[in-house]
Structure 1
Amino acid sequence: MVHGVVVKSTGSWYKVRTPDGQVYDCRLKGKFRQKGIKSTNPVAVGDEVAIKLSDDNSENVITDIADRKNALIRKSTKLSKQTHIIASNVDQIVIISSIVDPKVAFGFIDRILVSAEAYRIPALIVFNKFDLCRSDPAIDTLAEALAIYDLAGYPVLLTSTKTGKGLEEFKALLHDKYSVLTGQSGVGKSSLINAIQSNLDLKTADVSGYNDKGQHTTTFAEMHELDFGGFITDTPGLRSFGVVDFEKEHLSHYFPEMRERIQDCKFNNCMHINEPGCAIKKAVEEGEIAGRRYDNYIEMLNDDSFQKQF
């Protein structure tokens, strides 16, 4: 029996890297599809697995999956009661966004941050395409974004693959860690990776001028080794991010700026909507919690994604 880490998943075949650097194509043993697993992918990039090798490597089989220390999970877009594991055993989540081309989606960012908090995965935000922030509206939106996530306590980095801004800082953040890069289509994840690890030559594409949404250039999640130390997984660009397996009563615990004030609410079961003596509402009114973050909290509360999925 050989042990390794899943570095690519195509849905039917998996690439597994062993400690000696060898990569094997493997299939999944049928028993895992009979275990009542509610995710669309029983095995994810980052999983530690045991594999049984065939004599000619044509029928290598994953026979066991180790317990995960964490995972980035989202609601399946096609199967409402199932989930999709984006990556597992992660050191940090790097959310790549842009201010323009495509426009920043604060709700999307906050949903990923909530999932990261729930699974205790450190997260940071990179606003890419800084060179495009030339108009007054774009500059104002960028200033708002920086203020929002500063109040929430998340590290933020500005980058541009056109000018090189922030690329050395970006490399430093990734050094010797296993990072998962995620974000909406078209924000430049693959371009950023190419800028710091040019030998990968990942496919890139322009944002569609018709609907201001990016085109998918990464089809499958895949882990890449970095020359300067560490590993990254580039994930397919997402149009949406549905959160799962959460109780609505716990949602505010996954907003750090709310979590530190919850004990000051008058009622222990305060949902921070219209209850008297709510410390969260007071903090929003006094500008200590960003109004946009609070609005996204309310939007998530009203989302049926928070019904227990499994």
Structure 2
Amino acid sequence: MIGTVYKSTGSWYSVKTSNGKFYECRMKGKLRLKGLKSTNPVAVGDHVVFELEKKNDVETGIIKRIEERRNYIVRKSVNLSKQTHIIAANIDQVFLLVTINNPPTLTSFIDRFLVTAEAYSIEVILLFNKLDSYNDDAIGELKYLNHIYSKIGYKTIEISATENHNVSKVKNLMIGKVNMFAGHSGVGKSSLINALEPGLNLKTKEISSQHMQGQHTTTFAEMYDLSFEASIIDTPGIKGFGVVDMEREEVSDYFPEFFKLKSQCKFHNCLHLKEPKCAVKEALDNDDIAYSRYRSYLQILEGDESQYRTDYWE
């Protein structure tokens, strides 16, 4: 039988077949994936081949094979730096929720996420949430970030999940697609999903006032089929986001505004560091490239492990 993984709890997987029936499945032995050491060999969104077995009148499945993935979002495991964690697979687009100060989403986190998505050709739409809760200074910062990323070419939407502001715009973009929602804990993923599909009643929690961080309400990634012909993968709040397996020479290719200028650099293998006649550095000097983006590029290029572990709030 063939089905799609809708939920993973680490050892058991809820798999939905084409006829709409769900089976609880597990793996027998270890499934090896080509060249990828992962803490979770099977991810939500995976298409799997499984066989049924019956014990004590209970029918469960044994996963035999994972079908080839069209794409996936992967990050370094925060506690096991040599291994990766696959957040979700076979995604049409990702909505990355960003908040300014409750909790803060740093540009280093946004950029690492965008670079990984670019590497696997996954479209990311930035949702600047909690518009209703900001003072003038925070609104100014939101507008500045919106300007940076929309100028690069990313689709951005300013929303308030609790006030239902621009939620219909998000809904229209989701129709007919497998959508993933991502972001730090507390940025409003569950609130937005509830606004899109009130019947799901996902749990939400308040922000911790002591540390201005979100409290985890989603423990495992899970896919939901929505009433308006869309699917959504809700993910646990992502803390740090470590970029995986990129050669130094290719990192700039995943910064669209850098890639656009690459052919104008004097050297075809320019790393945009201290090379003469570098079009990227010239654009940076002329404020045509945001300094925060260049800083993120340097951190990834240098393999700054400390940064991806500290771009979130404990």
Contact 2:50 2:61 in 1 (8 A): yes
Corresponding residue number in structure 2 for 1:299: 299
Unaligned runs of 5+ in 1: 306-310
- After the TM superposition, which residues 8-157 of structure 1 pair with which residues of structure 2 at under 5 Å, given as runs? 8-32=7-31, 37-55=36-54, 56-133=57-134, 135-157=135-157
The superposition leaves residues 132-164 of structure 1 with CA deviations (integer Å, 9 ceiling, x where unpaired) of 12x232022012101110121100011112221
How far apart are the structure 1 equivalents of 2:235 and 2:105? 18
Return 253-262 or 30-39, whichever deviates more: 30-39
Q: How does 1:121-270 map to 2 (within 5 A)?
A: 121-133=122-134, 135-270=135-270
Give ranges in structure 2 of 5+ residues lacking alignment: 306-314
Distance across 2 between alignment mates of 1:160 and 1:269: 43
Verify the 8 A CA contact 2:105 2:184 in the aligned structure 1: no
Q: Which amino acid aligns with 2:74?
A: I
8 A contact 1:96–1:187 mirrored in 2: yes
TM-score normalised by length of structure 2: 0.93
SS at match of 1:32: coil
Amino acid at match of 1:180: M
* Identical amino acids, percent of aligned pairs: 49
- 1:34 to partner: Cα distance: 9.4
The alpha-carbon deviation at position 80 of structure 1 amounts to 1.3
SS of aligned partner of 1:199: helix
Aligned residues: 303
- AA at the equivalent of 1:52: E
**Displacement after TM superposition at 1:57 (Å):** 4.1
Report the RMSD for the aligned CA atoms in angstroms: 1.5
Letter in 2 for 1:14: Y
Contact 1:94 1:179 in 2 (8 A): yes
2:215 counterpart letter in structure 1 = Q
Question: In the alignment, is the contact (CA less than 8 A) between 1:26 and 1:60 conserved in 2?
Answer: yes
Q: CA deviation at 1:37?
A: 5.0
Q: Are residue 6 (structure 1) and residue 15 (structure 2) matched?
A: no
TM-score (norm 1): 0.94
Q: For 1:101 and 1:81, locate their aligned partners in 2 and report how far apart those are by CA, in whole Å.
A: 31
Contact 1:100 1:132 in 2 (8 A): no
Following superposition, the deviation at residue 173 of structure 1 comes to 1.3
CA drift at 1:33: 5.7
User: Aligned partners of 1:153 and 1:36: how far apart in 2?
Assistant: 32
* 1:4, distance to aligned residue in structure 2 (A): 0.5
Query: d(CA) in 2 for partners of 1:284 and 1:34?
Result: 40
- Which residue is equivalent to 1:308? none
Q: Which amino acid aligns with 1:127?
A: F
Contact 1:222–1:233 (8 Å) recurs in 2: yes
